[in-house]
Structure 1
């Protein structure tokens, strides 16, 4: 990423960048830098214009979008679902107000936890942290709706799967 960042910066300052200029800016030898640049060109993040390099920022957005679609929560909530409006970059930014929507989101969250396995609160938090910032709120939602069982010692268990909710 430091190569891409440097190319972006140099493109803004002076236009296209030559490999030797990039090497000097990064303090890297040309041979290993050349291999890394070739990989970035093959990935579509950089492009060559003769002997100059230009960063393709739009490709980074496309790569980011495809990575977001691979998150567990985006896998649990199909792209065509209206509930996707509660997600930004594959994470919950706000919980729905409508009980029906909240129930569906909660079931999607519950699907992130393994079935019939006892987890500590910190293990549940680590899993839910991939879905949103307020893990305590998400954890309480799952417990309040009975999607996870909580023992007095702060252990959590997701019972065997209930019928899936329509997303």
Structure 2
């Protein structure tokens, strides 16, 4: 069974409620109707569709959720997914970045200083060398990566990747510069 088939089956709110009731232990059409707050007719129609799709087994009024199909579909979908583009030529750095960067955003700020340094060195590339940025622009650039802009700004300054003057103006002061060190 493919993941998209499962998603299609669960896209209907009635079928989703039937699956949820079965996952919670209901075993008959009557029990599913009671747990899910649905009519017997709604449950019967949804169960028929779910059984045709291979997600539910039916034996008269008895229903069985084929829970194993969720895991196998997820594993099959993951196996078909292409490997992510490397974010760094260094395999160790790439492993850290793959763990903390998804779709161009940080999933979190690493607690370990070494990992945080790798993430910050990657993040500092949103700032052009030689350009001075007012704090609100720094915040806007960092907000595209993570909502805690104050922490990111502070870490970038603490790591020497950004510098700040007393007027709240920042500039890039560290990190690899593309085209210069190539």
Greater relative contact order, per chain length (Cα 8 Å cut-off, separation 6+) = 1
